Structure 1
Amino acid sequence: MRGVNAYARVGVESAVMSADPHQLIVMLFDGAQASIAAARLHLQDGNRAAKGAAISKAIDIVNNGLAAALDREKGGEIAENLGQIYDYVARLLLRANLRDEVGALDEAAALLENIGSGWRELRHTAAINL
């Protein structure tokens, strides 16, 4: 199992090293969604420690990945609005952790999916126009 984890880690590190900034943002959205999905499963299984770890990882991705990547000078109102949404998502995730609220996880996942799908569509549109 240790070898499999090391191999997976190398694969993720290679993907990050070769990704452009746009791909990195999409990877952050995907990582947050994967962590939220894991938290949902752990919550349903009653594994509070694993649920808390998964939610903490999702919060970290939102706060230290997505929100930290915002350029509030160049992004203006859009960056400010995204920052507010990310803050709200982080609070939803915290509430889900403290109160075992699946609904809060679902709302956080839906908000991130809406924004993440926009990033994926932007990438797809840019590829078509090249």
Structure 2
Amino acid sequence: MRIYVTSVFVEDQAKALDFYTRVLGFEVKHDIPLGDYSWLTVVEKGNPDGTELLLEPSEHPAVRPYKEALVRDGIPATSFQVDDLEAEFDRLRKLGVEFTQPPMNAGSVKMAVLNDTCGNLIQLVEMTEAG
């Protein structure tokens, strides 16, 4: 068994598409119109068969309080691994990305947390020790 798709709830799919592709560097896998929204997934650049991230509309009534509680408590909605956290932090800050947690050491990882502009906190992680 393997993960095929996972999702992050976004307030605006167009804004999320811009942020996740232009800023974070993911590539569109699917953009299939479904009424007012799309089945909109992105994948890691250069890995079209990798795990898909669904940019899912935040339309269900339970989503807003769930997301607000996570953000209020500083809990990321998901986590992405990077090879060099300091370099990625610098690159993203130059693009205007807001970080709620700058890079810090946390045991066998370095981590930072950013605001995705779509209602979520996203954690970036660099593995510093073989796990």
The answer to whether TM tops 0.5 is: no
TM-score, L = length of structure 1: 0.26
| Larger helix proportion of the pair | 1
| Larger strand proportion of the pair | 2
TM-score, L = length of structure 2: 0.25
Instruction: Mark the structure with the bigger radius of gyration.
Output: 1
